[in-house]
Structure 1
């Protein structure tokens, strides 16, 4: 089968590899669609921290935001999975440790992460093998575009829930990228008054098309009481500012990651009686995200700017966008697609 492989920083290609077989407890999925994520870009550039910590090494098969259809199952797996449309949890715990036993497999020290950590091959290929226990069935109302947005949506759902939002609360989301916009959608669903702060007017203009009107660059941010501040940015200075801006006794949530240290003065946390929450993964929020998409209460499909084939993934990771792409921040890949797209350098 064809698979996209990163061989080293800036080195990649589509190669023919042996298709996966379903080991005991596993299922093989025919991949329908995959989202390209900032984590994939960091692996392509060589900046991803897991490379430096020894949790991942080249060559890599990327792709952890995916959907597809089960085509085979291994020993011990119910055959009724065959033919079902699914997406899957990225975080695969060992299943034996204390964290896995109490439902925290996403922070298991020995975990694999699909397309990210521990050598587990990702979904930028025609087929993917994963533990059947990591699969989530998708209803017909969740199409392939939505299916490949469940994983990032699960992260955003958890961030919005961690902010302890009540109807009428005023929430400030920092960073209008894919995760920030998804967070804003889930916060709006909870009844919050949602404000977004971004770096560029272009990103804020796109947020306006999604129905958000309270849009700010930092220099124009109003002096308002923020009942929650959710940092979905990659700016190292914003975690401390989130604590500065949030109302005493309320919450800041950190879901974005900077490329360098982001110091926060714990005296500010304590003296303001602020609760700070970090969000790593989508795992505990995947089912709720599927339900939100299926009901139509959250529809992130406008975030997808273009859909390309495997042959075009390298250009996307290198920072180009397909000609004719929409304004959204997300690029999707159809691994079976063969059409090559024209690209332009991102402005």
Structure 2
């Protein structure tokens, strides 16, 4: 923790007074040195993390419309060059010159009292989206993209591998679209996360011998041993386990989709022969850019309430301990920790 000069809005930028920041697994990997970008030269120290945020615009650079001043906003993490063919086609999140707020190419993040950000990255927040939900827009955008990539219709069945922030958010967005969402967890601890979200009202099936004739009409939370023999119309891997992409392919119905949004620390295993012989489509998801507006809209209209995911909101001075793996006293069961830099 250190005091620095406040940011200045350069042309096309704004300065935001940060209200809330989410701590992500990527932030922890940047702190510990495990993040692959640190070894490829895409990221370097010193580095200020924080890419899940919201706040109030308090200063404008040249060329920024006056209407932004005083607005509550969140922002896209992915900053493309704006000039290349990918950016012009709306795929700025895979720009060859991509800079990521709080992650790569020296772009400072939001774990601070103030943040400078290009106005082109901003998304206004409606009054119904409080700071907690505002800082969940970025992971929400990722989860929503994963659900949309599954290509399901209302009433169809989705299996989500993993009960971290993205997995739980994906289940919430799927449920809001009328999709029957199920979660695969490692153990019964996941029930403590799923219950406050209404995702485990049918109870965890850990240790049960449930089969298709016993499955609930709504979502369930299952362990591998208790997973019922149901047709899974799509499977989303939101875990960091290298073996689960292969499991997703094994479980999904033929000619349907597996969606891969989790990243393992080692290469994942997936037999392309099975992919071909089952005529399965595999979709990779990088970043929440295209899902931000939809996530904000779902939070605003109340169809998705993700606030129970947040275990605790801590002060900025506690950030170092949190990044080092120390969970604040009094934290709830949720997987997400938020920081309020004003504390």
Report the TM-score range of the alignment, normalised by the length of the smaller protein. over 0.9
- Following superposition, the deviation at residue 323 of structure 1 comes to 1.1
SS in 1 for 2:268: coil
Q: Is the 8 A contact 1:165 1:190 kept in 2?
A: no
What residue number does 1:172 align with?
159
What residue number does 1:5 align with?
none
What residue number does 2:26 align with?
39
TM-score, scaled relative to structure 1: 0.92
Task: Give runs of aligned pairs for residues 133-144 of structure 1, distance below 5 A.
Answer: 133-144=120-131
Structure 1 unmatched ranges of 5 or more: 1-13, 338-347
Task: Give runs of aligned pairs for residues 48-63 of structure 1, distance below 5 A.
Answer: 48-63=35-50
Structure 2 unmatched ranges of 5 or more: 201-219
Find 1:181's aligned residue among 143, 149, 168. 168
User: Is 2:138 the partner of 1:154?
Assistant: no
What residue number does 1:194 align with?
181
- Following superposition, the deviation at residue 121 of structure 1 comes to 0.3
Find 1:237's aligned residue among 219, 232, 243. 243
Greater strand proportion: 1
What residue number does 2:308 align with?
302
Find 1:280's aligned residue among 269, 279, 286. 286
User: 1 CA distance for matches of 2:194 and 2:159?
Assistant: 14
SS in 2 for 1:320: coil
Find 2:64's aligned residue among 70, 77, 86. 77
Matched positions, count: 324
TM-superposition CA deviations, 1:25-61 (whole Å, max 9, x none): 0000000100000000111111111111110001110
What residue number does 1:261 align with?
267
Aligned residues: CA RMSD: 0.8
- Following superposition, the deviation at residue 263 of structure 1 comes to 2.1
- Following superposition, the deviation at residue 190 of structure 1 comes to 1.4
- Following superposition, the deviation at residue 202 of structure 1 comes to 1.1
User: 1 CA distance for matches of 2:115 and 2:253?
Assistant: 46
Find 2:109's aligned residue among 113, 122, 142. 122
TM-score, scaled relative to structure 2: 0.93
- Following superposition, the deviation at residue 177 of structure 1 comes to 0.6
User: 1 CA distance for matches of 2:272 and 2:177?
Assistant: 29
What residue number does 1:248 align with?
254
TM-superposition CA deviations, 1:205-261 (whole Å, max 9, x none): 321332123111112212211001000000000001100000001110001110110
What residue number does 2:205 align with?
none
User: 2 CA distance for matches of 1:300 and 1:72?
Assistant: 30
Could you list the structure 1 runs, at least 4 aligned residues long, displaced by more than 2 angstroms after superposition: none
Find 1:163's aligned residue among 136, 140, 150. 150
Q: Is the 8 A contact 2:235 2:252 kept in 1?
A: yes
